């Protein structure tokens, strides 16, 4: 399945199953000389790790990373970087009743019908747990982009019907999201969001939300203007995260309600640098970065694993039946998906930076 690989020069291959021995990633195409430690990757994994608060799944995984190759004396050596996280707290018996009974809202039916041999335990390869590979690839990408002062920041702006509308600077967002479990920049709204999640968790239900991603300090011209547009590649990367059902850039769908005069970002000079007075386009014009912050938002669906009896079809006997899902599940995916979204975007940007010649593909200068 070549679909487990992303990137053209900076390539990331992810592998592993929710209840398998281990999960991980192989990062190929990272220049030599980049300082990289297990701690760099661990810091990112800790942000998406389960069991860290009452609004996440109770699955108790430490997600301790092991770098197997690609790093010598604390720096990348230009060879593939392989890193794994071993599963420690699987409870596969909770999924015995799912073997031939696809769960509503999950990919079980599609996987089984397409491949015929599907590891149904915890969703197997379709589980959100496989995003550990995304985060490993993202951690390397972020470390590489840091050398060029490029940052990728994701924060929660809505949970169910509760929205944050207050405006913050990027530095405020970076700081504020570390101070609450929801990873929302507005601490007052974050409390309400957490209450909303816990309310539905108590009912055995789940909620979705919206996550915004801001990519800062990009050069002008990343992306190819027809088939490899930067926003197209980023949208693909984000849509490839299992729970994401929509992506918008800049004002996104709101732009459909505006006139051209309202939408256009007009230019001005700032110390001989060309900037725009507004950023309605979200930092992308003609499929290329325009030097302004690149802003995206994703719609994250509610976790499909909920309590109660649901209708399904037994695939072995081709008969209608019911199913009741057991196991430990997130009542809301949004807080943990922020790190995955950052990682997905960072991998795309790192690849485009190398493709555009901004980063030497062989070694850090």
Alpha-carbon distance of 355 to 233, in angstroms, equals 13
Tokens linked to 126: 């379709």
Within-domain flag for 62 = no
Within-domain flag for 322 = yes
Listed in sequence order, the DSSP H helices in the chain are 38-48, 108-115, 131-146, 170-176, 187-202, 230-239, 260-263, 334-355
Total domains in the chain come to 1
Between 38-48 and 131-146, two packed helices, what is the crossing angle to 10 degrees? 130
Report pTM.
Answer: 0.94
The closest of 230, 45, 249 to 133, measured between CA atoms, is 45
Within-domain flag for 338 = yes
Within-domain flag for 41 = no
Kindly report, residue by residue over 270-306, the tens digit of the pLDDT: 999 999 999 999 999 999 999 999 999 999 999 998 9
Within-domain flag for 214 = yes
Alpha-carbon distance of 214 to 268, in angstroms, equals 22
Within-domain flag for 54 = no
Query: CATH code at 339?
Result: 3.60.150.10
Q: How confident is the model at residue 359 (pLDDT cuts 50, 70, 90)?
A: very high
Domain membership of residue 212 as a residue range = 89-355
Kindly report, residue by residue over 83-115, the tens digit of the pLDDT: 999 988 656 555 677 888 999 999 899 988 888
Within-domain flag for 188 = yes
Look at residue 207 and give its three-state secondary structure: coil
Within-domain flag for 138 = yes
């Amino acid at each position: 399945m070549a679909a487990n690989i992303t990137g053209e020069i900076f390539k990331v291959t992810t592998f592993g199953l929710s209840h398998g021995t281990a999960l991980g990633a192989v990062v190929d195409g990272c220049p030599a000389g980049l300082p990289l430690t297990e701690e760099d990757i661990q810091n990112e994994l800790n942000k998406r790790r389960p069991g860290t608060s009452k609004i996440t799944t109770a699955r108790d995984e430490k997600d301790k990373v092991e770098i197997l190759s690609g790093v010598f004396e604390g720096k990348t050596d230009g060879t593939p970087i392989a890193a794994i996280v071993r599963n420690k707290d699987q409870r596969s018996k909770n999924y015995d009743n799912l073997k031939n009974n696809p769960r509503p809202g999950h990919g079980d039916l599609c996987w089984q019908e397409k491949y015929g041999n599907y590891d149904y335990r915890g969703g197997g390869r379709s589980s959100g747990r496989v995003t550990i590979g995304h985060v490993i690839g993202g951690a390397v990408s972020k470390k590489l982009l840091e050398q060029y002062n490029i940052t990728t920041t994701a924060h929660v702006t809505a949970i169910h019907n509760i929205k944050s509308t207050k405006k913050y600077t990027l530095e405020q967002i970076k700081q504020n999201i570390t101070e609450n479990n929801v990873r929302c920049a507005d601490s007052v709204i974050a409390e309400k969001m957490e209450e909303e999640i816990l309310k539905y968790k108590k009912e055995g239900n789940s909620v979705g939300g919206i996550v915004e991603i801001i990519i800062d300090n990009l050069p002008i011209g990343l992306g190819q203007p027809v088939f490899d547009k930067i926003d197209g590649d980023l949208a693909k990367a984000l849509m490839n995260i299992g729970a994401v059902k929509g992506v918008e850039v800049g004002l996104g769908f709101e732009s459909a309600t505006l006139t051209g005069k309202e939408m256009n970002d007009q230019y001005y000079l700032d110390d001989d640098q060309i900037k725009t007075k507004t950023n309605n386009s979200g930092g992308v014009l003609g499929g290329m970065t325009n030097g302004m912050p690149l802003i995206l938002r994703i719609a994250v669906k509610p976790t499909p694993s909920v309590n109660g009896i649901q209708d399904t079809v037994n695939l072995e006997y081709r008969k209608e039946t019911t199913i009741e899902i057991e196991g430990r599940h997130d009542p809301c995916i949004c807080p943990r998906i922020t790190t995955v979204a950052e990682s997905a975007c960072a991998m795309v940007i790192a690849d485009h930076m190398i493709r555009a010649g901004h980063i030497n593909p062989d070694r850090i200068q």
